[in-house]
């Protein structure tokens, strides 16, 4: 009998985040180009009498352990669909910054869903898993599939993208998080204040950039750097003006592109190669403008079940 299942799930960066007007349901239509990068949470599920969540890692204290945790919600959603009890202990070994615009909660939701499906032998189809992911949150389907993808709708309708190489990144982790709804609301406020209006009737439909998709396809870091955009960046910086100094520090150290990761406040720096990554990371660390610095690359695969401990391959 399977005693526990562990799933590893990556963080993401948005290389393009084009935000349309606010919809009647409060969400924004997006052209959201996701790239999965090699910072991971690991979600382990073990049979238990009742649903319970624990978390370890440097940011563990900021993670809710009640049923608002996306991993708990994923287990409950799968159990409800299959008419079974959700008695399971979910442990999250968290390495993805919390509330940092890198989809850590979404990663845990996708990871718990896949892990519970395996533990319980539910046999859910990929489509069913993606459906549940979309119910849990706009970014959760991408956490399951990983790689690179264009997200339309509120980000949940995915088209996989071909990437012709590996892109190197440095991430500067900020002190504290930013609330995603607050950043979208600030984007609307700034748009309304500038006179353009903030609704779907006022803002053009968001479209993926052909130059950006081309840069991904060819694996050209310089071309990607020239094409990256994030419509939430101005709002994140408005709420957290100190991010400007972090962005400037990375640019000054030779990053090809400097941007806010999603809704922030993590900042993302695209660099030429591993040597450039080390240089930019050292400069960011020395600048005193961020709490921690992480070096990684992408694309990487989405949620993956790890071999059971002691298993031979």
- Closest residue to ligand ADP, based on beta-carbon distance: 105
Determine whether the annotation assigns residue 79 to a binding site: no
- Closest residue to ligand SUD, based on beta-carbon distance: 262
122 phi/psi in degrees, rounded to 5: -65, -35
Tell me which residue of 72, 54, 146, 82 sits closest to 109, measured CA to CA.
72
CB-based contacts of 312, cutoff 8 Å, min separation 6: none
Contact flag: residue 70 with ligand ADP (CB under 6 A): yes
41, 117, 139, 188: which is the annotated catalytic residue?
139
- Answer whether 22's CB lies under 8 Å from 199's CB: yes
Contact flag: residue 102 with ligand ADP (CB under 6 A): yes
12, 108, 117, 231: which is the annotated catalytic residue?
12
- Of the candidate spans 21-29, 93-101, 221-229, 292-300, the one that interacts with ligand ADP by CB under 6 A turns out to be 93-101
Is 278 buried (19+), middle (13-18) or exposed (0-12) by CB count in 10 A?
middle
Closest distance to ligand SUD from the beta carbon of 180 (Å)? 4
- Residue 139 designated active-site: yes
* The entry of ligand SUD, ligand ADP, none that residue 69 binds, CB within 5 to 8 Å by partner kind: ligand ADP
CB-based contacts of 68, cutoff 8 Å, min separation 6: none
| Sole binder of ligand ADP in the list 14, 16, 44, 106 (CB under 6 A) | 106
- Rounded to the nearest 5 degrees, what angle is found at the Cα of 288, between the Cα atoms of 39 and 93? 25
- Residue 12 designated active-site: yes
Q: Which ranges in 102-209 belong to alpha helices (H)? A: 104-120, 126-136, 140-145, 180-193
Contacts to ligand SUD by CB under 6 A: 14, 17, 26-28, 30, 32, 101, 103, 106, 137-139, 154-155, 180-181, 184, 262-263
Determine whether the annotation assigns residue 105 to a binding site: yes
Active site members: 12, 139
């Amino acid at each position: 009998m399977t005693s526990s299942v562990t799933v590893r799930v990556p963080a993401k960066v948005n290389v393009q985040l084009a935000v349309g007007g606010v919809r009647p349901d409060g969400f924004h239509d997006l052209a959201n180009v996701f790239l999965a990068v090699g910072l991971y949470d690991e979600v382990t599920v073990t049979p238990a009498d009742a649903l319970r969540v624990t978390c370890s890692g440097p940011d563990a204290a900021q993670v809710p352990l009640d049923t608002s945790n996306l991993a708990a919600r994923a287990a409950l959603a799968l159990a409800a669909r299959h008419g079974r009890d959700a008695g399971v202990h979910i442990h999250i070994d968290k390495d993805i910054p919390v509330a940092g615009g890198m989809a850590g909660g979404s990663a845990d939701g996708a990871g718990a869903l896949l892990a519970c499906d395996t533990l319980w032998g539910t046999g859910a189809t990929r489509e069913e898993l993606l459906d549940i992911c979309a119910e849990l949150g706009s970014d959760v389907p991408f956490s399951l599939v990983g790689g690179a993808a264009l997200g339309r709708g509120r980000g949940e309708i995915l088209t996989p993208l071909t990437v012709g190489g590996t892109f190197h990144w440095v991430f500067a982790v900020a002190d504290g998080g930013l609330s995603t709804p607050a950043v979208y609301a600030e984007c609307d406020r700034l748009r309304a204040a500038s006179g353009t209006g903030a609704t779907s009737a006022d803002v053009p439909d968001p479209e993926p950039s052909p130059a950006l998709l081309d840069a991904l396809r060819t694996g050209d870091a310089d071309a990607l750097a020239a094409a990256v955009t994030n419509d939430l960046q101005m709002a994140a910086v408005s709420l957290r003006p100190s991010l400007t100094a972090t962005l400037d520090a990375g640019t000054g150290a030779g990053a090809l592109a400097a941007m806010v990761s999603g809704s922030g406040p993590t900042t993302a720096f695209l660099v030429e190669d591993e040597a450039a990554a080390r240089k930019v990371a050292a400069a960011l660390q020395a600048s005193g403008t961020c709490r921690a610095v992480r070096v990684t690359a992408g694309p990487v695969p989405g949620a993956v079940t790890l071999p059971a401990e002691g298993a031979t391959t």
